């Protein structure tokens, strides 16, 4: 009889891709995906712990499965990811939810198959949270679920220890995959027809730093992938402002395939707070980097992350953040309310900001960004841009620019996932609207 699985993913793209690897394992064992957990024989929760809200959501979702599992005793429930890499949280999940069969973390997630088979054979609960932070994980075949886009890990872990961030504690130290292996994976993906490849790493700019030969940096990796034959867009996430080099920016500017979209999280516009955050750059340095990028890539599409309400953030500090945003004029901005994470240095810092103020600030921040976005969208009117068609619903075709802006394309006669030139003639909220033109 056909067996089914469902994976519930929280958090970032790294997790989305890790879930594709878990799906790969389940598919190889003959399971197929279902959208409804009531039909599932295996349910996996791939969790996030970057903010408290993500943890609460995951815990709520796991708890909600209890009555279903009561009806379906053979159902196997696994909880993994960043939240259960933290020993205390993993134990909490194991104790609080006795109906959960498997608990494991990020360092050993590639061993999921073993754990699943152990539960199936021995009918015992499995608890495997290990600290293997130096080791490069073994790559597991993915069952890709992101349509035209393929995620590719280039490195794991982070050495930066920003004082608010839990990631270095749950993802371990930085380790890079060998360049030949990454290039070979990308080549295969392009040959298979993927039109977009997104390289993933917590800090892609320090790719290769751990290699002993001192060779193979991020710029070289980008160049190698850019040299591959075929029509595709190459993207990458995430860059750290202290490490993004002029060399990398030049490679992007001169490339055939690399998207002009750069995600460069600034987090805050006050030097005092940046120091407390241990970000290792100043506002001046950040703005110089932005100028350097704009000089090589005038049509760059910049995005950023901002944390409001970091301990000690005064009204004046917050105003500096707004000033910085007005100067840079990002295309996209992700605004977060600071969330205290156990074990991070910021947890113990004085002058924690009250929630009411944090909410006020994030609302103000997002309102400013909406204004900027509206103005920036006007710049597209009348322009012809390259768009990747990705989906069709009724008579509407949905696409994306190289920089990730959503486009509705009217009057498409023949739809297939492919690149077309679109003349933009209208704007609706955060979408551009246009028609295909020959060019």
The torsion angles phi and psi of 313, rounded to 5 degrees, stand at: -70, 115
339 binds, among ligand SF4, ligand 5AD, none (CB under 5 to 8 A by kind): ligand 5AD
Inter-axis angle of helices 246-254 and 283-296, to 10 degrees?
A: 20
CB of 115 to ligand SF4, least distance (A): 26
Helices marked H in 145-298: 167-171, 179-192, 218-226, 246-254, 271-276, 283-296
- Which one of ligand 5AD, ligand SF4, none interacts with residue 109, CB within 5 to 8 A by kind? none
Min. distance of Cβ 358 from ligand SF4 in angstroms? Answer: 18
Tokens, residue 177: 């995959």
Cβ–Cβ < 8 Å for 243, 206: yes
Q: Give residue 124's region: left, alpha or beta (phi > 0; psi -120 to 50).
A: beta
11 binds ligand 5AD (CB under 6 A): no
Of residues 90 and 170, the one with the C-beta less far from ligand 5AD:
170
Nearest distance from C-beta of residue 265 to ligand SF4, angstroms: 7
Angle between the N-to-C axes of helices 246-254 and 218-226, in degrees from 0 to 180, rounded to the nearest 10: 10
Task: Report which of 362, 398, 389, 387 is spatially closest to residue 439, judged by C-alpha positions.
Answer: 387
Three-state SS at 18: helix
Using CB under 6 A, pick the residue from 112, 338, 377, 380 that binds ligand 5AD. 338
Which listed option, ligand 5AD, ligand SF4, none, makes contact with residue 160 (CB within 5 to 8 Å by class)? Answer: ligand SF4
Interaction between residue 353 and ligand 5AD (CB under 6 A): no
Piece of 9-17, 32-40, 158-166, 329-337 that binds ligand SF4 (CB under 6 A): 158-166
Q: How far apart are CA 117 and CA 100, in angstroms?
A: 15
Give burial (CB, 10 Å; 0-12/13-18/19+) of 5. buried
Work out whether 305 is an interface residue with ligand 5AD (CB under 6 A): yes
Size of the site for ligand SF4 (CB under 6 A): 10
Min dist CB 421 to ligand 5AD, Å, is 34
Residues 183-222, mask of contacts with ligand SF4 (x by CB under 6 A): -------------------xx-------------------
Q: Residue 318's binding partner, choosing from ligand 5AD, ligand SF4, none, with beta-carbon cut-off 5 to 8 A by kind?
A: none
Query: What's the CA gap between 354 and 177, in Å, rounded?
Result: 42
Asked if residues 258 and 222 have their Cβ atoms less than 8 Å apart, the reply is yes
Q: Is 82 among the residues that bind ligand SF4 (CB under 6 A)?
A: no
DSSP state letter for 32: E
Site string for ligand 5AD, 318-337 (x = CB under 6 A): ------------------x-
Shortest distance, position 379 Cβ to ligand SF4, whole Å: 30
Nearer to ligand 5AD, 19 or 203 (CB): 203
341 binds, among ligand 5AD, ligand SF4, none (CB under 5 to 8 A by kind): ligand 5AD
How far is 155 from 67, CA to CA, in rounded Å? 39
333 vs 432 by CB, closer to ligand 5AD: 333
Q: What are phi and psi of 329, to 5 degrees?
A: 55, 70
Q: Nearest Cα to 161, choosing from 430, 334, 345, 437?
A: 345
Residue from 25, 85, 108, 160 touching ligand SF4 (CB under 6 A): that is 160
Q: Does residue 165 touch ligand SF4 according to CB under 6 A?
A: yes
> Under a CB-based contact definition with an 8 Å cutoff, are residues 63 and 97 in contact?
yes
Radius of gyration of the chain (CA): 23
What residue 305 binds from ligand SF4, ligand 5AD, none (CB within 5 to 8 A, per partner kind)? ligand 5AD
Pattern 163-192, ligand 5AD, x by CB under 6 A = -xx---------------------------
Token pair, residue 296, equals 């090589």
DSSP state of 212: T
Other C-beta atoms closer than 10 Å to the C-beta of 434 total 26
Pattern 241-280, binding to ligand 5AD, x per CB under 6 A?
Answer: ------------------------x-x-------------
CA distance 438 to 422: 9
Q: How far apart are CA 48 and CA 105, in angstroms?
A: 11
Q: Is the dihedral of CA 120, 122, 123, 125 positive or negative?
A: negative
Stretch that binds ligand SF4, among 11-19, 153-161, 181-189, 379-387 (CB under 6 A): 153-161
User: Least distance in Å: CB of 109 to ligand 5AD?
Assistant: 19
Interface residues with ligand 5AD (CB under 6 A) are 50-51, 164-165, 265, 267, 305, 307, 336, 338-339, 341
Interface residues with ligand SF4 (CB under 6 A) are 158, 160-162, 165, 167-168, 202-203, 240
């Amino acid at each position: 009889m056909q067996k089914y699985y469902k994976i519930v993913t929280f958090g970032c793209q790294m997790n989305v891709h890790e879930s594709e690897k878990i799906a790969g394992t389940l598919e190889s064992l003959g399971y197929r995906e279902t959208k409804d957990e009531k039909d599932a024989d295996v349910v996996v929760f791939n969790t996030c712990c970057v903010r408290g809200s993500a943890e609460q959501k995951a815990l709520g979702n796991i708890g909600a499965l209890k009555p279903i599992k009561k009806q379906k005793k053979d159902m196997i429930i696994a909880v993994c990811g960043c939240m259960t890499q933290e020993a205390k949280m993993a134990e909490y999940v194991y104790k609080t939810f006795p109906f959960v069969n498997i608990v494991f973390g990020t360092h050993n997630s590639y061993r999921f198959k073993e754990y699943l088979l152990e539960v199936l054979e021995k009918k015992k609960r499995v608890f495997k949270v290990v600290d293997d932070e130096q080791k490069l994980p073994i790559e597991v075949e993915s069952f890709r679920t992101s349509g035209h886009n393929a995620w590719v890990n280039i490195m794991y872990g982070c050495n930066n220890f920003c004082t608010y961030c839990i990631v270095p504690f749950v993802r371990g130290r930085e380790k890079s995959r060998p360049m030949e292996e990454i290039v070979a994976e990308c080549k295969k993906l392009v040959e298979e027809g993927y039109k977009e490849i997104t390289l993933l790493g917590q800090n892609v700019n320090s790719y290769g730093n751990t290699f002993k030969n001192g060779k193979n940096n991020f710029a070289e990796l980008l160049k190698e992938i850019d040299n591959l034959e075929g029509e595709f867009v190459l993207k990458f996430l995430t860059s750290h402002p202290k490490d993004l080099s002029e060399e990398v920016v030049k490679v992007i500017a001169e490339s055939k395939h690399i998207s002009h979209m750069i995600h460069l999280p600034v987090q805050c516009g006050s030097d005092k707070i940046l120091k407390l955050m241990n970000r290792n750059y100043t506002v001046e340095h950040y703005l110089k980097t932005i100028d350097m990028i704009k000089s090589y890539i005038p049509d760059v599409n910049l995005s950023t992350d901002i944390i409001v309400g970091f301990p000690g953030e005064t009204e004046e500090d917050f105003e500096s953040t707004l000033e910085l945003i007005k100067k840079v004029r990002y295309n996209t901005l992700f605004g977060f309310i600071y969330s205290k994470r156990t074990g991070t240095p910021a947890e113990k810092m004085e002058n924690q900001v009250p929630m009411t103020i944090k909410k006020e600030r994030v609302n103000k921040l997002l309102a400013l960004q909406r204004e900027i976005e509206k103005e920036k969208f006007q710049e597209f009117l009348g322009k012809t841009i390259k768009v990747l068609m990705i989906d069709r619903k009724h008579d509407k075709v949905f696409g994306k620019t190289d920089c990730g802006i959503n486009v509705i394309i009217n009057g498409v006669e023949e739809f297939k996932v492919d690149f077309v030139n679109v003349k933009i003639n209208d704007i609706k909220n955060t979408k551009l609207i246009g028609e295909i033109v020959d060019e």
